[in-house]
Chains A and B, each alone.
Chain A
Amino acid sequence: MEFEFPTPLTTVPSTANKTGVWRTFRPVINYEKCIRCYICWKFCPEPAISFVPGDKYPAPSEAFLKRDAVEINYDYCKGCGICANECPKGAIDFVLERGDGQ
């Protein structure tokens, strides 16, 4: 008998639900301090941190530019602050949302 791996009945990916509107505090990466260790990416429960080409953002030195950078997706980041708390370089500021996207 041919077996078909079941596909979910729930067809709409949750990405349609922009949980970023929940946010009270906004994590902001200070790229001058970020050593691209990816610890924040590892511990984000959404997940709302992804990788982008290394030269998209500044880095502490030239050498770091070879490594991909991390970027926070504010459409989904709920502002839990885990990334800011776990970053070994204290490179993530945690600031009150002002509703103006800044």
Chain B
Amino acid sequence: MRNTTIPEEEYMLPGHVACLGCGAALAMRYALKALGKKTIVSVPACCWAVIPGVYPYRTLEVPLLYTAFEVTGAAISGIREALEVLGQDDVTVMGWAGDGGTADIGIQALSGAMEREHNVIYVMYDNEAYMNTGVQRSGATPFGAWTTTTPVGKLRIYKKERKKPVAEMMVAQGVPYVATANIAYPEDLIRKLRKAKEMKGPKFIHIYATCPTGWRVPPNKTIEIAKLAVQTRVFPLYEVENGVYKINVKPKERVPVRDYLRMQGRFRHLTEEEVELIQKMVDEEWEKLLLKEEMTNRVRKE
């Protein structure tokens, strides 16, 4: 006898070649538990293009179509429309791209796919840099982080720009279902992907996925760090349905951002003043999110 809080079926096999403690591998394991066997996944250049291993190995029990770095949005649009022509409407189509492949090079294909209202799920799994090619900065790398292209050193060239808010861009575009999710909260992640599967039209999900290798953290801390990202409000969990916000986790106490930053080698160089500055940014974003929730719920009622 047993009772589990997430589905037992596995559609991702062991033997894949993700790094120890890979958050992106966990994210895929959960996503496919939610979507099930009748799913077609498309993946561009990113860690997930490598994780399944080389030909003839496969690690997913569903079809996986590789595509070029910048075209995930176009690829899933095409797969969906081909299925429509064949009269297949019970197959889920999911694009699965990294933060670089989404926030940077793939943003136009994503924006187009969402605007054309194809019935697809687009997931941006976010390890906050170009990890597959050796930890280069992306638009989704957070302020303050070390990467190999923001190398700190004597000149302190850490990333000085703020993280690109891709989920907010999708909300602004009017995407009917936008959500953030996190590997430390698999029940919430699976619920959101199931909801996305049930809804017709374009869906966008942003999944926080710890990368021990690129973040310079021990692999056993993958879940602990991901949980702290939510508790410190660095990465709030929320969903936006037809423009109306719902924050899924409102941490009761304000855990200092310092606790999150000081666990990670990529933030090791930050001074106390810089940590305070990041705390201010996080507080400000959280306040804005609370107001968005209040405002959009009020507009709906009126």
Q: Which residues of A contact B (CB under 8 A)?
A: 1, 3, 5-19, 22, 36, 38, 41-43, 45-48, 51, 54, 66-68, 73, 75-76, 78-82, 84-86, 94
- Option from A8, A46, A66, A82 in Cβ contact (under 8 Å) with B16: A46
Docked-complex contact B40 and A67, CB < 8 angstroms = no
Interface segment among B6-14, B109-117, B154-162, B240-248: the answer is B6-14
The secondary structure that dominates the A interface is: loop
> CB within 8 Å of A: which of B5-31?
5-6, 10, 12-18, 20-23, 25-26, 29
Residues of B within 8 A of A19 (CB): 14-17
Q: Is B220 an interface residue (CB 8 A)?
A: yes
Q: Which are the 8 A-B pairs with shortest beta-carbon distances?
A: A81-B220, A14-B15, A76-B14, A80-B21, A10-B58, A17-B15, A80-B20, A14-B59
Docked-complex contact B21 and A45, CB < 8 angstroms = yes
Docked-complex contact A7 and B63, CB < 8 angstroms = yes
- Option from B38, B53, B58, B87 in Cβ contact (under 8 Å) with A11: B58
Docked-complex contact A51 and B2, CB < 8 angstroms = yes
Docked-complex contact A47 and B14, CB < 8 angstroms = yes
**Distance A35 CA – B91 CA, assembled complex (angstroms):** 39
Residues of A within 8 A of B87 (CB): 1, 3
Residues of B within 8 A of A48 (CB): 14
Q: Is B299 an interface residue (CB 8 A)?
A: no
**Distance A41 CA – B46 CA, assembled complex (angstroms):** 26
Q: Is B198 an interface residue (CB 8 A)?
A: no
Residues of B within 8 A of A66 (CB): 1
Docked-complex contact A15 and B14, CB < 8 angstroms = yes
Q: Report if A67-B2 is in contact (Cβ < 8 Å); known contacts: A14-B13, A19-B15, A47-B29.
A: yes
Identify the interface centre among A5, A14, A68, A75: most chain B CB within 10 Å of its CB: A14
Q: Is B173 an interface residue (CB 8 A)?
A: no
Q: Is B289 an interface residue (CB 8 A)?
A: no
Docked-complex contact A14 and B52, CB < 8 angstroms = yes
Docked-complex contact A12 and B56, CB < 8 angstroms = yes
Docked-complex contact B21 and A8, CB < 8 angstroms = no
Q: Is B263 an interface residue (CB 8 A)?
A: no
Docked-complex contact B53 and A45, CB < 8 angstroms = no
A9 → B minimal CB distance (Å)? 8
Interface segment among B130-138, B221-229, B277-285: the answer is B221-229
Nearest chain A residue, comparing its CB with the CB of B85:
A1
- Option from A17, A46, A84 in Cβ contact (under 8 Å) with B57: A17
Identify the interface centre among A11, A47, A73: most chain B CB within 10 Å of its CB: A47
- Option from A5, A8, A16 in Cβ contact (under 8 Å) with B38: A5
A67 → B minimal CB distance (Å)? 6
**Distance A30 CA – B38 CA, assembled complex (angstroms):** 39
- Option from B2, B5, B58, B218 in Cβ contact (under 8 Å) with A8: B58
Docked-complex contact B223 and A82, CB < 8 angstroms = yes
What sequence of 0s and 1s flags, for each residue 28-69 of chain B, a beta carbon within 8 Å of any chain A beta carbon? 010000000010100000000000110111111001100000
Q: Report if A15-B15 is in contact (Cβ < 8 Å); known contacts: A5-B91, A47-B10, A82-B219.
A: yes
Residues of A within 8 A of B223 (CB): 43, 82, 85-86
A84 → B minimal CB distance (Å)? 6
**Distance A69 CA – B224 CA, assembled complex (angstroms):** 24
